[in-house]
């Protein structure tokens, strides 16, 4: 860990100034990921700007449009157990509770969850090359230990995945991200918040330096009755997803009116496929329809050796998650049985 200055500005404007004026400044809120990165010398900031006590960012409020606005500093635990979230957006609650541990969820913030970085072994190991950590140095993961790596949207420079569970649900729920920065406020559709690695794997998101996440907004459509968050991982708790699926359906009898589908653990971003969702619309909620959706999502999937199994696993996971959603038997995060 290097030496840095630690600042705790009193308001959002002040925070933005402190960040924007120093290209090597980093924002800290819950610190559940950044502190690890500091210890591993992956992040070597000159200053840490602590926003954890900024006023006005820790509320969960109804929006005029019938949705919910979640302040960036709302902890993962608070969010998961909030009555409105638990009742109206249970997909979000389920995804949060599938991740990390109670202690981590107590400390981790909503905004920070969006900005957590990949678990790629090479990214964490400054003794190896990594295009995300050190652009241009190479990607040993492509032909190395890549069991946990991406099968969709990869580039020749990076096959890392985004590790969040919460974000997979936010992608499926079509959330928006409210950010503010030196040039004012922006609203970023969730699908455009995280990016694919392409030629610039060092950038996880479209957030500019100096911008901070203020809130996440959920639209009115809740999918409270037909949803599931199915997470497959190497142990039944406290492990990142090898494949996860957030599925949400709006049914008209046994026909699908609206479908939402996003995958975690398979790409550099929560992987939502609107073509697969469109395919499901108007179809009967059957295993056959679900398998077709899986085919669409995975058409371009490719493995890199150790992670080849993820393609087949994702196919089964998509079908199962949609079946559970259709049947109204969501995946429980306490009883680990999968239905």
187 forms beta bridges with: 178
- Distances from the Cα of 246 to the Cα of 1, 41, 319, angstroms: 36, 33, 11
How big is the site for other proteins, counted in residues (CB under 8 A)?
Answer: 40
Number of alpha carbons in the 13 Å side-chain half-sphere of residue 302: 8
What sign for the dihedral angle of Cα 12, 118, 99, 289? positive
Q: What share of the chain is helix, strand, coil (3-state, %, to 5)?
A: 30, 20, 50
User: Which one, of 182, 248, 173, lies nearest residue 216 by Cα?
Assistant: 173
**Applying CB under 8 A, which part among 46-54, 140-148, 167-175, 250-258 lies near other proteins?**
140-148
According to the binding rule CB under 8 A, does residue 31 interact with other proteins? no
* 17 forms part of the interface with other proteins (CB under 8 A): no
Confirm or reject binding of residue 55 to other proteins (CB under 8 A).
no
What three-state secondary structure class fits 56? coil
**Residue 174: how many other CB atoms lie within 10 Å:** 19
Among 95, 108, 122, 139, binds other proteins (CB under 8 A): 122
Residue 135 interacting with other proteins (CB under 8 A):
no
Based on the shown chain and the rule CB under 8 A, indicate whether residue 47 belongs to the binding site for other proteins: no
Lookup: tokens for 317: 């996971």
Instruction: Single out the residue of 119, 186, 283, 292 in contact with other proteins (rule: CB under 8 A).
Output: 119
97 or 173, CB closer to other proteins? 97
271-310 footprint of other proteins as x/- string (CB under 8 A): -----------------------------------x-xx-
Q: Which residues contact other proteins by CB under 8 A?
A: 1-3, 39-41, 119, 121-122, 124-125, 127-128, 140, 143-145, 147-148, 232, 234-240, 242, 306, 308-309, 312-313, 316-317, 320, 336-339
């Amino acid at each position: 860990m290097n030496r840095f200055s630690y600042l705790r500005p009193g308001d959002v404007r002040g925070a933005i100034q402190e960040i924007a004026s120093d290209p090597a400044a980093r924002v800290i809120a819950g610190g559940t990921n950044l502190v690890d990165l500091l210890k591993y010398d992956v992040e070597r900031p000159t200053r840490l700007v602590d926003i954890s006590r900024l006023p006005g960012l820790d509320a969960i409020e109804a929006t005029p449009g019938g949705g919910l606005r979640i302040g960036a500093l709302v902890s993962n635990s608070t969010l998961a157990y909030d009555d409105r979230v638990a009742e109206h957006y249970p997909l979000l609650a389920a995804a949060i509770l599938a991740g990390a541990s109670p202690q981590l969820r107590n400390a981790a913030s909503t905004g920070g969850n969006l900005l957590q970085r990949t678990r790629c072994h090479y990214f964490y190991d400054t003794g190896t090359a990594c295009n995300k950590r050190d652009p241009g140095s190479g990607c040993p993961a492509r032909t190395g230990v890549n069991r946990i790596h991406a099968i969709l949207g990869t580039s020749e420079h990076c096959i890392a995945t985004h590790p969040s569970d919460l974000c997979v649900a936010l992608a499926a729920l079509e959330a928006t991200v409210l950010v503010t920065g030196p040039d004012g406020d922006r609203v970023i559709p969730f699908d455009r918040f995280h990016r694919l690695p392409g030629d610039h794997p060092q950038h996880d998101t479209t957030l500019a330096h100096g911008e901070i996440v203020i809130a996440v907004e959920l639209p009115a459509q809740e999918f409270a009755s037909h949803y599931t968050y199915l997470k497959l991982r190497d142990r039944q708790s406290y492990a990142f997803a090898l494949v996860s699926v957030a599925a949400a359906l709006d049914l008209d009898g046994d026909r699908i009116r609206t479908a939402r589908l996003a995958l975690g653990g398979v790409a550099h971003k929560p992987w939502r496929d609107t073509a697969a969702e469109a395919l499901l619309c108007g179809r009967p909620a059957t295993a056959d329809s679900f398998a077709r959706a899986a085919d669409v999502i995975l058409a371009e999937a490719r493995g890199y050796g150790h992670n080849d199994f993820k393609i087949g696993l994702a196919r089964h996971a998509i079908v199962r998650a949609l079946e559970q959603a259709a049947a109204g038997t969501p995946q429980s995060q306490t009883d680990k049985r999968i239905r």
